[in-house]
Structure 1
Amino acid sequence: MDAGMKTFWRSYLTGLQLHVAIAEYTKVPVTWNDDDYTPDVNKLYYIQEGEGYIKVGNRKLYPKPGDLCLMPADVVQSYGTVGASTYGKYWCHFTAKLNNLNLFQVLETPTIISVSDHQSLKSKFERLIHHHRSEEWTADLHVQAAFLEILALFLEQSEQVGIHTPASGSFEKMNVVLAYIEEHLSDNMTVDLLAQLVHFHPNYFIRMFKNTTGLSPIQYVNRKRMDKARQLLSFTSNSISGIAESLGMDATYFSRLFKEYTALSPSEYREISTK
């Protein structure tokens, strides 16, 4: 994936909606088998022992211990055993939506990857399972955090990740806009200006932008400014008024908007983040 597309996906994935339906470790029985079914959830298998097969679309594969397998939703699949030495595996079922599209309708990934750090991934799955079973009121937050680590690892260690969408031209145009926003956070950016960058009518541009990022253009610009403000407050000694000016905002409006995004004033945030 080239640098421009990485910038696009870094922004686009902030709109990802995840739900982990189940997470477990199972030593499957010899009767573990199903043919030509179409799941409505994505599945991850992390194979620890044994042998068996999976079939995704027309490809029949034989994952081995140490392999991490992803089987996307809405694709015809099969699985089964090949002998008495059956799979022992960590596994989870999950949904991952980007603007009502399954993430893996948009991203084209391998079905199987070989993991480089088995102990680390095993620890992540155990943490995921522990929190999924937990009744603590914060359990869902921990589940999301643990699963995101697993998903990020799968994407990072995939040798090739492609874009699989008929709207790839629109993705490229949105990438132009997102890159411009990143480079001009201190400028006054209007919807008309951003729409002109890609030669779209402003009304069409607003719809396309929201379909891509889940936010209106102004909401997105403000969020990127607040992200930048958090970095500056944490890692520089710049004054709050100076930070506001560097983001093209007056200090009063900046402080109010920052508190809306973080529930803290800029000075409160700086005090906490620098401890």
Structure 2
Amino acid sequence: MENQAGAFLGKNLANVQLDVSIAAYTKVPKSWRDENFTTAFNKFYYIMEGEGYVKVNNETFYPKAGELYLLPSGSVQSYGTINDNTFGKYWCHFTAKIGGFHLFQLMKTPVFIRPDEFGLEEKFQQLITNMHSDRLSSTFRVHAILLEIIAVFIENSQTIHFKMNASPSFDKMDAILTYIEEHLDGNLSVEALAQIANFHPNYFISVFKKFTCSSPIQYINRRKIEKAKELLAVSEQTVSSISDSVGMELSYFSRVFKELTGLSPTSYRDLSLKSRNNPK
């Protein structure tokens, strides 16, 4: 079951929606304390110095310098100081969603890691700088930096559990995505997929969008074109044969391919061939 959940997340992590509400460095006062509260956002604490405690659900931790803590949304949290040597920490509040689901409701990670040398202090400094910048590119940089920090946390987590019970529809949607992958050569209709899930078509479309951030047709077309790109790059099949192999009429295939890649199928094949023959 966890392999299914991991496969679902793997297919859809590219659609993760991020929002950073605040990022800062703080030497907390001795009065820094709160008990048994929940938030609708996640928190990162990167400890630089000092002592104190954090509690997540029923576990209490005493963070040390160099440790990165993730306090997920929806968890019961407490924190406080224990002496005059208070925490100095980088921190940020953020949301990370796939469709309508919080990322860390779909996957359970450790509360903290001690990451390999990665320059996290510099990353948090860059995050703070870009949060306070009015440059047009700053929003992109904020998202890119936060994704890097999340990636570091996941890569350095010894155990990650996927929560199959995050939604009663999870199993059905994962089965639908698997069915799509196995039938990319066919004519996949919304009505047929809804019937497999035992949903009304309108409800099916709504649930599918919540899980993938795409309509069923948009998602199916993207997956068909991804398969076609692989075939164009590694096989000698004609464009017509490839369009057949992904269950699309040639003119429609060519139009969708260009819409999604910016190139015609023939131009994409030529570019792939040049890249293989002239690697840089």
**Are 1:56 and 2:56 an aligned pair?**
yes
1:19 to partner: Cα distance: 0.4
Query: Which residue in the other structure is 2:145 paired with?
Result: 146
- Separation of aligned partners in 2, 1:208 and 1:165: 16
1:210 to partner: Cα distance: 2.7
1:222 to partner: Cα distance: 0.9
Q: Deviation string for 1:23-53 (max 9, x for gaps)?
A: 2333334343333443332111122332211
**Are 1:183 and 2:182 an aligned pair?**
yes
1:204 to partner: Cα distance: 4.1
- Separation of aligned partners in 2, 1:156 and 1:119: 12
Aligned to 1:119, the other structure's residue is in SS state coil
Runs (5+) with no aligned partner, structure 2: none
Aligned to 1:134, the other structure's residue is in SS state coil
Instruction: Please say if residues 23 and 91 of structure 2, whose CA atoms lie closer than 8 Å, have aligned partners that are also in contact.
Output: yes
Q: Deviation string for 1:186-210 (max 9, x for gaps)?
A: 2221223323444445444333323
Instruction: Please say if residues 39 and 75 of structure 1, whose CA atoms lie closer than 8 Å, have aligned partners that are also in contact.
Output: yes
Query: Which residue in the other structure is 1:259 paired with?
Result: 258
- Which has the larger displacement, 144-153 or 26-35? 26-35
- Separation of aligned partners in 2, 1:231 and 1:21: 39
- Which has the larger displacement, 227-236 or 200-209? 227-236
Runs (5+) with no aligned partner, structure 1: none
Give the letter aligned to residue 193 of structure 1. A
- Separation of aligned partners in 2, 1:187 and 1:222: 12
Give the letter aligned to residue 184 of structure 1. H
Q: Deviation string for 1:119-150 (max 9, x for gaps)?
A: 24444434433433333212111211221122
Query: Which residue in the other structure is 2:205 paired with?
Result: 206
User: Residues 189, 50 of structure 1: CA spacing in aligned structure 2 closer, same or farther, 3 A cutoff?
Assistant: same
Give the letter aligned to residue 246 of structure 1. S
Q: Deviation string for 1:191-242 (max 9, x for gaps)?
A: 2332344444544433332332232221210122233345555666766545
- Which has the larger displacement, 4-13 or 230-239? 230-239
Instruction: Please say if residues 2 and 161 of structure 2, whose CA atoms lie closer than 8 Å, have aligned partners that are also in contact.
Output: no
For the aligned residue pairs, the C-alpha RMSD in angstroms reads 3.1
Give the letter aligned to residue 175 of structure 1. D
Aligned to 1:89, the other structure's residue is in SS state strand
User: Residues 191, 91 of structure 1: CA spacing in aligned structure 2 closer, same or farther, 3 A cutoff?
Assistant: same
TM-score (norm 2): 0.80
- Separation of aligned partners in 2, 1:167 and 1:211: 11
Q: Deviation string for 1:62-100 (max 9, x for gaps)?
A: 122232211123444222222233323222111223444
Instruction: Please say if residues 22 and 131 of structure 2, whose CA atoms lie closer than 8 Å, have aligned partners that are also in contact.
Output: yes
- Separation of aligned partners in 2, 1:40 and 1:87: 24
Query: Which residue in the other structure is 1:132 paired with?
Result: 131
Aligned to 2:118, the other structure's residue is in SS state helix
- Separation of aligned partners in 2, 1:130 and 1:270: 42
User: Residues 193, 149 of structure 1: CA spacing in aligned structure 2 closer, same or farther, 3 A cutoff?
Assistant: same
